[in-house]
Amino acid sequence: MAVGVLTAVNNKVDVLNGIFQGLFTADGTPSASSVFCGFTPRIIIMQQIGGAPGATWHSEFHEGMTAAYAVLVGNTGAGTIPTTNGFTTLVGNESAPAAQATNSPNAAGPGFTIGTGVQGASLVYKLTAVR
């Protein structure tokens, strides 16, 4: 199973202040990918920065949203709220989170999962998570 790749050289984790930033490249056939950043974020923002603008141009998750939901704005400007395959926050005790994204800061623990509904094949995103 292929997972997304975090470009390690651009990953910045500040656990003390609860900020994670990195570049995320979705695989050619995207699958859910977990990022174990060391904290459970309250806000996740993913903005496409490479490839042709697609339906997953900009997506967000905010504290209080249901797991796997997202706010999604496509390249046409139309907004939707997917109720599956969005973002899911992780507190660190989940028994079977999605596979670890390549170059995730940690191998397990708190973080978040990026679902297939908020990533397009082989696209590059700026990823920000805030505690």
Q: How confident is the model at residue 3 (pLDDT cuts 50, 70, 90)?
A: low
* pLDDT > 90 in the chain, percent: 64
Say what the pTM is. 0.91
Q: Among the ranges 53-57, 76-80, 88-92, 99-103, which has the highest mean pLDDT value?
A: 88-92
Say if residue 9's pLDDT is above 70.
Answer: no
* HEC string for 100-122: ECECCCECCCCEEEECHHHCCCC
What is the rounded average pLDDT of the residues 70-94?
A: 94
| Residues present in the chain in total | 131
pLDDT of res. 46: 96
Query: Tens digits of per-residue pLDDT, 10-38?
Result: 567 777 788 999 999 988 888 899 999 99
What is the distance between the alpha carbons of residues 85 and 115, in angstroms, rounded to a whole number?
Answer: 4
Cα 84 to Cα 1, 29, 44: the distances in Å are: 20, 18, 16
Residue 69: CB atoms within 10 Å = 20
Of 122, 120, 10, 7, nearest to 72 by C-alpha is 120
Q: How confident is the model at residue 124 (pLDDT cuts 50, 70, 90)?
A: very high
What is the distance between the alpha carbons of residues 41 and 55, in angstroms, rounded to a whole number?
Answer: 24
Name residue 47's beta-bridge partners.
58, 126
